[in-house]
Amino acid sequence: MSLSTNGVPVPPLPTTTTSERKEAADGHQENVDLSTTTNVVLSDSQFTIREGGYGWVNVVCGFLLNAATWGVNTTFGIYFSFYLRNDYFEGATPMRYAYVGGLSVASCMLVAPFVNLLWRSSGWFKTPLYLGMIFISLGQVGAGFCTTYIQLLFTQGLVFGIGLGLTMIPTQPLLSQWFRRKLSYAQGVAAAGSGMGGLVLANTTRYLIQEKSLKYALICNGIVSFVVLLPCITLMKSTESQPMHFIPSKLRKQKAADAPTVRIKKNPLELKWFFHPGYSFVLLFGVFSMIGYFVALYSLAAFASSGLGLTQKQASTLQSILAAGQMVGRPLCGFLLDLIGRHPCTILIQILAGVTCLAFWLPARGFALLVVFAVTQGLLGGTVWSSVAPISAEVVGIRDLPSALAVFWFATVLPAQFGQPIAVAFINHSQNSLGRTGADAYLISIGFCGAMFIASGLMLCLSWRYVRARNQKEQLQSPTPESQQDTVDSTAPSQATEKV
């Protein structure tokens, strides 16, 4: 008997076929179809988790992939600050620039159902990855040649954002096929790549803008992304068979392991997850945490330069510190999630992230206190990226994880698009209606950011309550490990129906 991540005992899960007979409470046996059962314990029993192995190669590749994608996205704070200080595009306002950053993230989330559809129809999880690599590079290089705001919105916003989605969606559930006990830690290490990429690229981007030009910086970042992504995507591997439907059947290598005994669902958009008694709160966690994360990420440099009058170098230094905090914080948070529990640890981290906004960012009137905030926010603020896959797996199981995550990312489209513009609207309201200037104009926006983090933690409290109740119920319904092994039906058809 082992303990789940929330402290509820769960019996060990032997590998089975897609059909299994289990003993009911009245002594009768029932034939359970593992491909459709809602019992997460039984559903996960059909997957063989290798607990590492080649999975660590996937972790390293994921680390570098995030560095070349979300690390690049982190540098938008540098671009945003440069656009504001130099009035770079005629007619553009702070609100319009905020829409560029919002659109890149929103379009990333919006393509989630399409990515699952492309993944399923092509039969190869790398199809959207290679396509995303092209979009990410084209988006940045194209932004370097922009002369109008609309062109910037299309390239750095839409095209780059679609590339982010094409590379992120297939890789999020990948590590759950290789890790169980260390899943959160592995996910955290991979997610830390965005911090490393942001740390390196924030400084190189600032240097290239100052010494060369904005155009030169954007083109160089596009080339770097392509060079890093190509080998990383090539080395990634899934435990699930990859039929590659786009290759003629005569040229495909048929393997015995290709028998449909284990199938991970990759449905484009299952609306049932919006109404799921536990996962609906995970979706709300994503909505609130995304708003808080992007407001802090995109506003810190602007607050330093426009609000406090600090130099561009100091603003980019704060962005680098924030990225360094992410690089350390995400693996650390992942380790703590596996050690303490995925739900309780994430709840605590989200609430602390909100408190740091109110305790450090809100009263900051100088560079020193902003450094403290950048460190703490880097450690705590981006936990959603490393925790969403482990938490989703805990709520819905490995079989439904890609389908549930597609809905998760789709649900965060509007928060990603309008989170930063809402913060800018609060700043404009403070300036135009309340007559506030400098740092005081950011007070409402900062308070809003902190409240979003705290609200996301409260949503996970309700999700955690559901998981605990469900695990207790399934523990009572599940057979003992001995009876499980004795009742495996290795000759049953793969699409068995449930019988009592």
CATH number at residue 470: 1.20.1250.20
As a whole number, mean pLDDT of residues 193-214 equals 84
Specify whether the CB–CB gap between 290 and 412 falls below 8 A: yes
Domain assignment present for 201: yes
Instruction: Provide the token pair at 8.
Output: 């509820």
Average pLDDT over residues 47-76: 84
Which letter does DSSP use for residue 344 in this model?
H
Indicate if 30 and 71 belong to the same structural domain: no
Number of H helices, E strands in the chain: 20, 4
Residue 105 contacts residue 161 (beta carbons within 8 Å): yes
Q: Give domain status of residue 486, yes or no.
A: no
381 and 318 fall within a common domain: yes
Q: Evaluate whether 110 touches 410 at the Cβ level (below 8 Å).
A: yes
> How do strand 29-33 and strand 2-3 relate by DSSP bridges?
unpaired
Write phi, then psi, for 2 (nearest 5 degrees). -115, 165
Q: Is 348 within 8 Å of 235 (Cβ atoms)?
A: no
SS3 20: strand
- Work out the angle between the directed axes of helices 279-302 and 342-356 (0-180°, nearest 10): 30
pLDDT at 12: 47
Structure token pair of residue 47: 């997957």
**What pLDDT was estimated at residue 307?**
86
Using a 10 angstrom Cβ sphere, with 0-12 exposed, 13-18 middle and 19 or more buried, the burial of residue 450 is buried
360/471 same-domain check: yes
CA distances from 306 to 303, 322, 435, 436 (A): 5, 18, 16, 13
What pLDDT shows up at residue 2?
45
> What does the block give as tokens for 264?
């991970």
* % of residues, the chain, pLDDT over 90: 26
392-403 average pLDDT score? 84
Cα-based distances in Å from 49 to 38, 176, 180: 20, 8, 7
Same domain, 459 and 325: yes
21 has a pLDDT exceeding 70: no
Q: Whole-angstrom Cα distance, residue 370 to residue 328?
A: 18
Q: Report which DSSP code applies to 480.
A: P
Is the confidence at residue 455, as pLDDT, over 90?
Answer: yes
- Cα(390)–Cα(176) distance, integer angstroms: 8
Instruction: Specify whether 198 is located in the same domain as 283.
Output: yes
195 within domain boundaries = yes
Q: Could you tell me which of 24, 18, 153, 173 has the C-alpha nearest to residue 92?
A: 153
In a domain, 415, yes or no: yes
3-state secondary structure of 141: helix
Quick check: is 295 in a domain? yes
Q: Mark whether 430 and 371 lie in a shared domain.
A: yes
pLDDT at 262 over 80: no
* pLDDT value for 478: 59
Q: Which range among 257-271, 312-326, 421-435 has the greatest average pLDDT?
A: 421-435
Q: Which pLDDT does position 49 carry in this prediction? A: 64
205 vs 215: CA distance, rounded Å? 11
- Residue 213 is assigned to a structural domain of this protein: yes
Give the number of C-alpha atoms closer than 13 A to the C-alpha of residue 176, restricted to the C-beta side. 24
6 shares a domain with 109: no
Judge if 383 and 458 occupy the same domain.
Answer: yes
Residue 91 lies in a domain: yes
pLDDT at 403: 83
Sequence-distant (6+) residues with CB within 8 A of 169 are 111, 112, 115, 116, 119, 128, 405, 406, 409
Confidence of residue 256 (pLDDT cuts 50, 70, 90): very low
**pLDDT at residue 451, rounded to an integer:** 95
pLDDT in tens, 81-100: 788 777 778 777 777 887 88
Q: Is residue 490, in this structure, part of any structural domain at all?
A: no
Report the distance separating Cα 221 and Cα 430, nearest Å. Answer: 36
Are 194 and 316 in a shared domain?
yes
Residue 365 per-residue DSSP state = -
Tell me how far the alpha carbon of residue 208 is from its chain's centroid. 29
Q: Are 188 and 332 in contact (CB under 8 A)?
A: yes
* The two structure tokens encoding residue 330: 């995400």
pLDDT, one tens digit per residue, over 173-182 is 788 788 878 8
316 lies in the same domain as 347: yes
Q: Check residue 106 and give its pLDDT.
A: 82
pLDDT band at 46 (very low <50, low <70, confident <90, very high): low
Model confidence at 40: pLDDT above 70: no
Q: pLDDT grade, residue 413 (50/70/90)?
A: confident
Q: Which residue has the tokens 């399923």?
A: 120
Mean pLDDT, all residues of the chain: 80
Specify the residue for token string 């945490």.
289
Q: Which tokens sit at 250?
A: 């005569």
- The first and second tokens of residue 415, run together, are 């928060």
State residue 254's pLDDT score.
53
Q: How far apart are CA 114 and CA 133, in angstroms?
A: 16
The answer to whether residues 24 and 104 belong to one domain is no
Burial of 59 (0-12, 13-18, 19+ CB in 10 A): buried
Structure tokens at 229: 């992504």
Least confident of 130-134, 390-394, 477-481: 477-481
Residue 229 has pLDDT above 90, yes or no: yes
Instruction: Give the pLDDT of residue 252.
Output: 58
Q: Inform me whether the pLDDT recorded for 231 exceeds 90.
A: yes
| 3-class DSSP state of 151 | helix
Q: Which of 40-49, 317-326, 432-441 has the lowest mean pLDDT?
A: 40-49
User: How many structural domains are present in the chain?
Assistant: 2
Q: Per-residue pLDDT tens for 123-175?
A: 788 899 999 999 999 999 998 888 888 888 899 889 999 999 999 888 887 88
Pair 326, 289 in one domain: yes
Three-class DSSP category at 123: coil
Predicted local distance difference test score (pLDDT) of residue 38: 59
At 59, the pLDDT band (50, 70, 90 cuts) reads: very high
26 pLDDT band (50/70/90 cuts)?
A: very low
* Domain coverage including residue 112: 55-247+272-476
**What's the DSSP call for residue 304?**
I
